[in-house]
Structure 1
Amino acid sequence: MTDLEDVDWTFDGYDTQEYTHGLHPYPARMVPQIVRALLSYYKHKGVIEAGDLVYDPFSGSGTTTVEGRLADLNTKANDINPLATLLTRAKSCPLDVDQMMDFRDKVMEDLAADLRRTRERYEDGGAFDDIREPEVRDGWFPQPHLLELCVIRNRISEVESNWDNGNEDDLGRFFRVALSKTTRRVSFQRNGEYKRYRLAEEDRETHDPNVYRIFANKVEENVDLMKEYSQRVNHDRSTEVYLADSRTAEDIKTNSADIVITSPPYGDHGTTVAYGQFSQDPAIVAWGRGYDEMREVDKEGLGGKNRKLEPLDTLEELSPALAATLETLREKEGRAEDAMEFFRDYYAVMEQVARVTKPGNPVAWVVANRTMSRVNIPTHLITKELCQHLGFEHQYMLAREIPNKTLPWSNAPENVSGVTGDLMAKENIVVMSAPDN
């Protein structure tokens, strides 16, 4: 990669599920080829080299972390979503192939028969006092399918507890990813949606998925992907993933990152991509996370309801694009305060990225422009201007179309039936160099 401006950043038709990127779906997932191209370019230029550190303050399902490991780098990442951190670890930590196969055999041994007996017991009206059901909400799962998911969960836990070859946490996490995907397929969730919407009632009555077949197929698919990934990466490199807030980034040392590549949320989780809603049932069933914990994820995101930072009244003075946007929103009596809250939180992350990145080294923000109250939000320009105020230097503004992404293309901003507005179909890669600290 010799010139970033010569790249077709759309990457339409490329395989975005290769290696471990295909282990589990995640909304608004960054295309791995973006990260791969950036890392390739900066390695070619001699800015980074094998063993350096790439940091992602918005890990999501781990695209930057996986690509960092594939590029022979050490990696660190933060996310406030428990499912995101678990997926990032599972996708980026390579496994010993022989151990993985042995673990798989123990998980799958007589599993079909156990699930069949569970179904028969349910149909006979038997009690299930021996199975602890997860904290999912009533009406979101068919029975005995939920009980079958619990049997798989317990089997993974049993194999973990009896495993004496080391790496039981990494192995158990890997197989819970297959259970997580199975959970989503088995539930009444409409799988094409990024928020929590159930199947229509008449469709729920006929919803009878084969739990064993879904899980077994996903296990085999994931095993093949991990084999390919594990044989490709350097097992001596490190991956550290923190369930943490990047507005403070307390686990990341000053001047420690050689490069930062990240895709921030496009807006507050409640009105754009509801990562917490997407993650709720998989995290609760496969990993035993709590309902209340998962319900808080979207409130904890940038611009969310759980306010953490003091108001920064001068923020719009730092970015002419933000000032013009807020003025237009106020004129329309739109959501100016919501926009301000989001960018205030986003700016706090920028401050931390400025702190943790080595002076002069690259930072790439992959951002999409959305609308609020039918006003276009030029996030790419606002990102550039706020970063420049912190001392970043602008390097590139690289535009790309979004050919395939689980995103809301339109919504009803006034909540009027049949009235929709465009949200996002383009991204920009804003490349800056970090300031002197």
Structure 2
Amino acid sequence: MSSATARKPPPSRDRAAELEAEIRDFCAFGANTRFEERDGLPYYINEFWTAGQRQAHSIHEVSYRACFKPQLPRFFIDRLSAPGEAVYDPFMGRGTTPIEAALAGRTPIGNDVNPLSPLLTRPRLDPPSLAAVAARLEEVPWGRGEIEREDLLVFYHPETLRHLCALRRFLLERAPLDGEPDAPDDWIRMVALNRLTGHSPGFFSVYTLPPNQAVSVEAQRKINEKRAQTPPPRDVARLILKKSRALLADGAPARAKAGLCVGDAAATPSIDTGSIKLVVTSPPFLDVVQYESDNWLRSWFAGIDPAEVTISAHRSEADWSAMVSAVFKELARVLAPGGHVAFEVGEVKGGKLLLEPLVWRAAEGLPFERLFVLVNEQRFTKTSHCWGVANNGKGTNSNRIVLLRRR
């Protein structure tokens, strides 16, 4: 590491040597990387990805609440794993890390407590051809659909809703949640789940927000009244094909053996001990999770009872830290010696609470070397902003990743 890389040296020579060895492979750090120490934690700060970096692959364009950009896992996948090695995300969400791992020629492994997660991820790891999707859509008995829920007419034109109900019934019969559906059925369900509601004519619904979760029926009724709008007819099959073309515009990942499971990230018995080379993940942050209200419409279409999905809400720092520690214990089991964990955390409470010190402490006493915190800071921010100082924009303006290595 050149002298231009750090503005002030680490506190000890031993620690400097450890960090020097660990960041040697991070060739993108460059001369503008700053080293800072805060509350005993070592930070490396730069714009490691975003501006000037390649555009993300088109197959990632699936909406999901609180997901990170594909450039984040790719940064670590390129530096801390080799082709064929297993890359894992215990909180995979829409599947960004497993899909980026597959695109990079790694073995994708993923887990999430949300049963919608594998429905959004699995189809994009082995997509069907557009011709196969079109052929399967022609098999749907569109004319036999019956409106199953009158309340959904606040979102959909009656003919659109009948077609959605026909497609839903067709997929529930052909693609059970506990089975392995064929690729066209799996793909069509994934695309339909992501076209249910949104803010443009590319979605099945009238104008609504946001596209990654459905507002309540009552809230949509108020939106319709305020905008003086009624749901227009939408061509469900045409929109599914249109979105499919967009997702496959850059091609598809090479077929790879993937492992996806649903369950608690702290207990993943289906993943072999010592089988993972790299973990790139972002856990649920300190917040109250309202799974049923956030996912009610997608769950309805997929045939999931949201009341039966148990997702813990971590309302205190102690609860959240205990969750992270339990997950780290499981990661210590599945990681191979020398494997890494890139644990992305967000800024909560308007940046007033930084989670990386909690992660640092949660890993204490476990078989990990706590290396440093990498902060990907966008160009429009100032140095002070990475410590939670407000700026001109809202939301998180930096990625904060705690990097650990399995002993």
TM-score range, shorter chain: 0.7 to 0.9
Which residue, 169, 173, 187 being the options, matches 2:182?
169
Pick closer, same or farther for the CA change 1:402–1:150 going to 2, 3 Å: farther
Structure 1 stretches lacking a partner, 5+ long: 43-47, 119-127, 162-166, 304-336, 405-421
CA drift at 1:13: 7.0
Pick closer, same or farther for the CA change 1:15–1:290 going to 2, 3 Å: farther
Encode CA deviations 1:39-59: one digit per residue, 9 max, x unaligned.
1112xxxxx322211111001
CA drift at 1:365: 0.5
Which residue, 225, 228, 233 being the options, matches 1:202?
225
Tell me which residue corresponds to 2:297. Answer: 281
Question: Could you tell me which amino acid in structure 1 is paired with residue 363 of structure 2?
Answer: C
CA drift at 1:291: 4.1
Tell me which residue corresponds to 1:260. Answer: 279
Q: Secondary structure, in 3 states, of the residue corresponding to 2:399? A: strand
Q: Of Structure 1 and Structure 2, which has the larger fraction of its residues in helix?
A: 1
CA drift at 1:15: 6.6
CA drift at 1:104: 1.8
CA drift at 1:203: 4.5
CA drift at 1:96: 4.6
**Corresponding position: 1:180 with 2:193:** yes
CA drift at 1:64: 0.5
Which residue, 296, 301, 305 being the options, matches 2:312?
301
Tell me which residue corresponds to 2:247. Answer: 225
CA drift at 1:289: 1.4
Encode CA deviations 1:152-185: one digit per residue, 9 max, x unaligned.
3244567779xxxxx8533211111221122223
- What TM-score do the two structures reach when normalised by structure 1? 0.68
Tell me which residue corresponds to 2:103. Answer: 70
Contact (CA 8 Å) 1:148, 1:211: kept in 2 or not?
no
CA drift at 1:244: 0.9
- What TM-score do the two structures reach when normalised by structure 2? 0.73
C-alpha distance in 1 between matches for 2:321 and 2:244: 37
CA drift at 1:248: 1.6
Pick closer, same or farther for the CA change 1:346–1:194 going to 2, 3 Å: farther
Tell me which residue corresponds to 1:434. Answer: 406
Which residue, 306, 311, 316 being the options, matches 1:338?
316
Tell me which residue corresponds to 2:268. Answer: 249
**Corresponding position: 1:55 with 2:88:** yes
CA drift at 1:394: 2.4
Question: Could you tell me which amino acid in structure 1 is paired with residue 122 of structure 2?
Answer: R
Q: Secondary structure, in 3 states, of the residue corresponding to 1:260? A: strand
Question: Could you tell me which amino acid in structure 2 is paired with residue 25 of structure 1?
Answer: S
CA drift at 1:105: 2.3
Contact (CA 8 Å) 1:11, 1:33: kept in 2 or not?
yes
CA drift at 1:4: 4.9
Contact (CA 8 Å) 2:49, 2:75: kept in 1 or not?
no
**Corresponding position: 1:19 with 2:42:** no
C-alpha distance in 2 between matches for 1:281 and 1:140: 13
Matches within 5 A, 1:268-417: 268-270=287-289, 277-285=293-301, 287-293=302-308, 296-297=309-310, 300-303=311-314, 338-371=316-349, 376-401=352-377
Matches within 5 A, 1:75-224: 75-92=108-125, 94-97=126-129, 100-108=130-138, 114=142, 128=146, 133=148, 141-142=155-156, 144=158, 145-156=160-171, 168-185=181-198, 186-187=204-205, 189-191=208-210, 196=215, 198-199=219-220, 200=222, 201-203=224-226, 206-212=229-235, 215-224=237-246
C-alpha distance in 2 between matches for 1:142 and 1:20: 27
Pick closer, same or farther for the CA change 1:159–1:205 going to 2, 3 Å: farther
